[in-house]
Amino acid sequence: MKKKFTRRHVLGLFCLAGTGIGCSANPLYFPMMLLNNQPQNPPEFPLKPRPRAEDVKVVVLVSGRTADSPDTIGLDRALNAELISLLEERCKANKENVLVKKMKAIDEFRANNPDPTLHPMQVGKEMKADYVIEVEIQELELFKPGSRRQFLQGTANLTVNAYDTSKVGKEAAYSMTLAQSFPRDREVPVESPASIENFRREFVKRLASAIVVKFTTSSTDQKFQMS
């Protein structure tokens, strides 16, 4: 007599196939396990520790013209803070011993060293950092061109440089340009002043994510979202 397979049998087969030991837990375990075991992509520029050093110390600096429009004022600082937070979060999740200098330390350094021409390599050495990640904003817009501020579609052109302070000279150890459009294939109607502020925050997070994947391990899903 043939046995009829039930949902319980099917779930059991999935559990056995995925873990080799079976499972009696939540039915969502197996698909969640698949998501949590995505292939990992190494960074383009890994933040490698110094010999015999426990931690890697990193400074993130964001600069550029954001005052051309009232809507973009302060986005350089917002991106700087978001990059610090996200890089620290991702490195911790990846068990990488990376210490990212806080925004307060950067503000204090800038207050004591107001010269805007100070080279990132010098900043990194004076702040006792191993690496400096410098982001220069070349172009930054929130509104879709020609939409008369009725539709949001963020565009950004950034230059990203990384400096290794153990090296001699001022040449960047890593350099890239980054062009982002958010959302890529549509615009977002402006509903209220609050909707503009919410969009600003989401756009900054998008830019930060696109930069962070260059310096720490990312899942295939994280990298695909930023491409």
pLDDT (tens digit, 9 = 90+) per residue, 181-193? 999 889 999 999 9
Which pLDDT band holds residue 33 (cuts at 50, 70, 90)?
A: very low
The backbone torsions φ and ψ at residue 131, rounded to the nearest 5 degrees and listed phi first, read -140, 150
- Considering Cα of 95, then 97, then 98, then 104, what sign does the dihedral take? positive
Give pLDDT, residue 186.
92
Q: What number of other Cβ atoms are within 10 A of residue 76's Cβ?
A: 21
Q: Quick one: what percent of the chain has pLDDT higher than 90?
A: 70
pLDDT (tens digit, 9 = 90+) per residue, 132-165? 999 999 999 999 999 999 999 999 999 999 999 9
Q: Which residues, listed in sequence order, are joined to residue 79 by a DSSP beta bridge? A: none
Burial 150-167 (b: 16+ CB within 10 A, else e): eebbbbbebebbbbbbee
Distance CA 21, CA 199 (A): 46
pTM: 0.80
Residue range 42-226 forms a domain whose CATH class is alpha beta
Which pLDDT band holds residue 219 (cuts at 50, 70, 90)?
A: confident
pLDDT (tens digit, 9 = 90+) per residue, 37-71? 667 899 999 999 999 888 999 999 999 977 677 88
